[in-house]
Structure 1
Amino acid sequence: MHGNYKVASQVFDIPSSSKQRKLAILIGILIIAVSLVALPFGMTALPATETFLSAAIGWLIFGDMLTAFIIYSQYRASGLPALLVLSCTYLYSGLMTFLHILTFPDLFGGLGEMIGAGGQTAGWLWVFWHSGFSFGILLYAWVNRKWSKPLSSKEKIFNYGTAGITLTLLTVFGVFELTALGDRWLPNIIHEHDYRKLNTSGIGPVLWILSFFALVAVWRRIKGWSMLHLWLAVAMLALLMDVTLTLFAGMRFTLGWYVAKFNSVVASTVVICAVVNEVNRLFIRLSEQHRQLMESGLQLEHANEQLIRLTNLDGLTEIPNRRRFDEILDWEMVSPEERGTALSLLIIDIDCFKAYNDYYGHQGGDHVLKEIAWTIYAEAKQEQGFAARYGGEEFVVVLSGLETQETQEAAERLRQAVASLGIEHKRSKAEPYVTISVGGYRLAPFDPMDAEEFIRRADRCLYRAKEEGRNRSVVEG
């Protein structure tokens, strides 16, 4: 399970980058700066723009619920209990925000009264919403420290997840029932839009202290500067400024109250924005790795082609080599009862090649080998045959379907093609130019002869051609 955790929760596990830390610090400074600038004018009354409240709360709900869903997905993949707590915290916040907007006075007509809300319900829901979120963050930090090992099985992950979501839903339901009956069980904290009693009753300061300790708890978890804890600290800073401005303003629809709502939006969405950005970065890296993998695949394919080419071709003459000849001959020398076509083998030797090398040098010898190799290869191709370098100054040609006389004529054409090159050879015992000797053997259809004997008989004919004076061809069969 530990291995799965590292893969599945990598979005939250990876350390934050230097750019992320700089951006987080910049956003944190902006949150504090804007809040401090607004603080002296926080009690200034502004027009009651209920559409702004609807839009802001709607964005809060969207951010909280989406964050809860993504973090819960990470919990299911990793089995880390701390992620379950964090997911339930955002789920709680999203549901409480939804109930808060439903019960907000005059926003949806009499809908709040229809679901049992009283005049104090929206105010107390705000208190339980913010205090519950801060408590959830404190619980997350504690579980993350005390219970860092993932759950051991999928069954436990499912059961704990179900229990966590159920407990969250029951808590939200219980809090709503409590706040709906607030006129009877809870003290009045708001009159019209004035909620200054929240401060004088001590509830506001306690809420602020709880938010502050939640921020400290997250900040202490930034030891490794992980992406999750970095942006969670920014979210808690925004929440603390939200509570600070709200308590200081003391009235709805004041400058401090409006700025506090902006801080609420930041607190709700900063984590999900960071996660989406990180997922996008991971996707870009994955795409780049895929591109590199495709390029590597093409390079490997090209390398394989080159390897096959080098394996099958002679390095100097670049015509098929001895290995390729052995493969072709084995393929042609099928069992005698299946081979219904005659097969001819020519073995070719450059006359007095050692003398040529000694007189003209190895570079001259290499040049001659290349010229003769390509001449033999081209002639064999015209005969619908196969040519290869056999070794040293020897070459072989495999022909199919020829009679003995036709094989002799093919050998003569090869000999004449080389002679017609007119390459000077002052040390030749045959002619004053480069010549070849050819020995060949024709294997009749269904002849049970093996490959070794076939080569031996063709080589014996080559020996005869040399003994008879070179620059000639001898074919049997």
Structure 2
Amino acid sequence: MHSNFKVGSQILDIPSNRGQRRFALLLALLIIVISLAALPFGMKNLPAFGPFLPIFISWFIFGDLLTAFILFNQYRASGVPSLLVMSCTYLFTGLITALHILTFPGIFSAEGMLGADSQTAAWLWIYWHGGFPAGILLYLFVGKRHPKPLTSKSEISMYAGIGLILTIAVVYLLFKLSTGWNHLFPSLIEPRGYWRVLETGVGPAVGVVNLMALVMVMVRFRARGVLHLWISVALLALLFDILLTLFAGTRYSLGWYLARINSVIAATVVLCSVVNEVNRLFIRLSDQHKQLLESGKQLERANEELVRLSSLDGLTEISNRRRLDEIISWELVAPEERHTPLSLLILDVDCFKAYNDHYGHLGGDHVLKTIAQTISREVKPFFGFAARYGGEEFAILLSGLDARGTYEVAEGIRLTIAGLGIEHVGSTASREVTVSVGGYCLPPFQRIDEDEFISLADHCLYEAKNGGRNRCVVTGWVKEPETAGVKPRLAD
């Protein structure tokens, strides 16, 4: 039968674990053992404690109404009709219990409030203890007949309104029956006590309804879900509440006090289980949130590393051509905002093919790495940007230097590389590895195309190589107007 009662609600779908079932079984055994052990002594009178009943009843009302509120929100989220029935059941119990304490003689007034008489509170107790199992039976019926959740928000809201109105209407009708129309029903309270609840058969009938609801819940769900596990415990506690009350006979007897304790258990076990599951869900969500944040940080680090690797040359580990093109584009996109000159140097390793042929590609790779590290180190004091341009060529971007300053930086790099003393027997320019450098200095605010800018620097590199290699040629803007168009300078 359980398989026919599939729903999409979170609370209904939470399975009970072994620990919860063991705890529920232990609590059920305690209820049974203590209640049965106290039953022969249930009529024993104990000291009357006036605040006892309002304190306990207040807790019943709080527990029932809060449970109704939580279950109602679950219905709104899931659209499962049976959850609305259970929510209305707890709302009914909370409202009836509130009316019961207000009309109870000797609590707020001698006869009870709201036009109550001597029978009102007793009948409201009957409606309270009979209404809850009746609501559970209705919950089981609706769950079997309408297992699929509602999908329309308008339908969910409409049935919620209907359920609320019907619940309040039933409570009002029963209240009227227990006040203005209770003469139509047998008296349950007499000076000697409330034995007539048992003698008239009204109390046993309520107990039978409760037992029926308990058996049906246990048979249908077999304690597989958290909610149904604790509903079973609540119905069991309510059943022994009824049994102890019937055989206690009077207020402030041992059975009467124990019955009230069972009422507390019945009113709170479902609430506690729901709150516990919500707390466990919050803890799981908190852990998942932390994991998500950590995953986000790892993903961010991975993305940063990916961006870094995509911008680096795999061999030399300095920026690659793609990154160079991005930087140049950024610098040239808004020339009206560029207040300083911009220089581009292109370096070419002299006779590098001959070096590879003689020393092998591993040797050539070592030379390229060494030169790349040297260039990066040399341009740092000038806040320059170095990149591998392609093959044995490198490029440098410098800002704030005119053609003379750019030439000095280029010459410093050339001399440093030559000073490394890396043997190169196949070079026509020197017995060591050297570089030729060409550069162009763009004046502030000047608009120029990226390809044209590179072409100007490349043309200077061509002049340096044609001039014998191992030298620098830099042209472009200088600070002194009279020296604009400065003659290309060659290395000594």
TM-score strictly above 0.5:
yes
Change (3 A) 1:366 1:177: same
Q: Which residue matches 1:76?
A: 76
> Aligned pair 1:85/2:101, yes or no?
no
Q: Which residue matches 1:54?
A: 54
> In 2, are the aligned partners of 1:120 and 1:182 still within 8 Å (CA)?
no
Change (3 A) 1:449 1:122: closer
Change (3 A) 1:258 1:473: same
Distance 2:108 2:340 in 1: 96
Q: Which residue matches 2:32?
A: 32
Unpaired runs of 5+ residues, structure 1, are none
Distance 2:276 2:230 in 1: 12
Distance 2:390 2:223 in 1: 66
Q: Which residue matches 1:371?
A: 370
Change (3 A) 1:246 1:361: farther
Unpaired runs of 5+ residues, structure 2, are 1-6, 477-492
Q: Which residue matches 2:484?
A: none
Q: CA deviation at 1:83?
A: 2.0
> In 2, are the aligned partners of 1:118 and 1:183 still within 8 Å (CA)?
no
SS in 1 for 2:107: coil
> In 2, are the aligned partners of 1:221 and 1:229 still within 8 Å (CA)?
no
Q: CA deviation at 1:201?
A: 2.3
SS in 1 for 2:109: coil
Distance 2:403 2:136 in 1: 96
> In 1, are the aligned partners of 2:238 and 2:263 still within 8 Å (CA)?
yes
Distance 1:41 1:253 in 2: 13
Q: CA deviation at 1:73?
A: 2.4
Between the two proteins, the alignment pairs up a number of residues equal to: 470
Q: Which residue matches 2:394?
A: 395
C-alpha RMSD over aligned residues = 3.1
SS in 2 for 1:280: helix
Tell me whether 403-412 or 240-249 shows the greater mean CA deviation.
403-412
Q: Which residue matches 1:121?
A: 120
**AA in 1 matched with 2:394:** F
Tell me whether 103-112 or 118-127 shows the greater mean CA deviation.
103-112
Change (3 A) 1:363 1:190: same
Q: CA deviation at 1:341?
A: 7.2
> 1:130-167 deviations in whole A, cap 9, x for unaligned?
11222111111111111223345444433333332233
Change (3 A) 1:370 1:120: same
SS in 2 for 1:50: coil
SS in 1 for 2:57: helix
SS in 2 for 1:317: coil
Distance 1:420 1:166 in 2: 95
> In 1, are the aligned partners of 2:223 and 2:229 still within 8 Å (CA)?
no
Distance 2:331 2:202 in 1: 97
Change (3 A) 1:411 1:81: closer
Distance 2:171 2:333 in 1: 83
Q: CA deviation at 1:223?
A: 5.5
> 1:61-81 deviations in whole A, cap 9, x for unaligned?
111111122222223333333
Distance 2:404 2:475 in 1: 9
> Aligned pair 1:186/2:192, yes or no?
no
> Aligned pair 1:262/2:291, yes or no?
no
**AA in 2 matched with 1:16:** S
Q: CA deviation at 1:274?
A: 1.1
**AA in 2 matched with 1:116:** G
Change (3 A) 1:397 1:72: closer
> In 1, are the aligned partners of 2:342 and 2:397 still within 8 Å (CA)?
yes
Change (3 A) 1:375 1:200: same
Q: Which residue matches 1:21?
A: 21
Change (3 A) 1:423 1:83: same
SS in 1 for 2:438: strand
Q: Which residue matches 1:380?
A: 379
> In 2, are the aligned partners of 1:411 and 1:438 still within 8 Å (CA)?
yes
Distance 1:338 1:119 in 2: 93
> 1:296-340 deviations in whole A, cap 9, x for unaligned?
222222222212211222233332211111223334455999989
> In 2, are the aligned partners of 1:43 and 1:249 still within 8 Å (CA)?
yes
Q: CA deviation at 1:391?
A: 1.9
Change (3 A) 1:323 1:205: same
> Aligned pair 1:216/2:226, yes or no?
no
Distance 1:120 1:268 in 2: 24
Tell me whether 199-208 or 463-472 shows the greater mean CA deviation.
463-472
Q: Which residue matches 2:481?
A: none
Change (3 A) 1:456 1:222: same
> 1:191-211 deviations in whole A, cap 9, x for unaligned?
235223322322222221111
> In 2, are the aligned partners of 1:347 and 1:439 still within 8 Å (CA)?
yes
Tell me whether 151-160 or 205-214 shows the greater mean CA deviation.
151-160
TM-score by length of 2: 0.84
> In 1, are the aligned partners of 2:105 and 2:111 still within 8 Å (CA)?
no
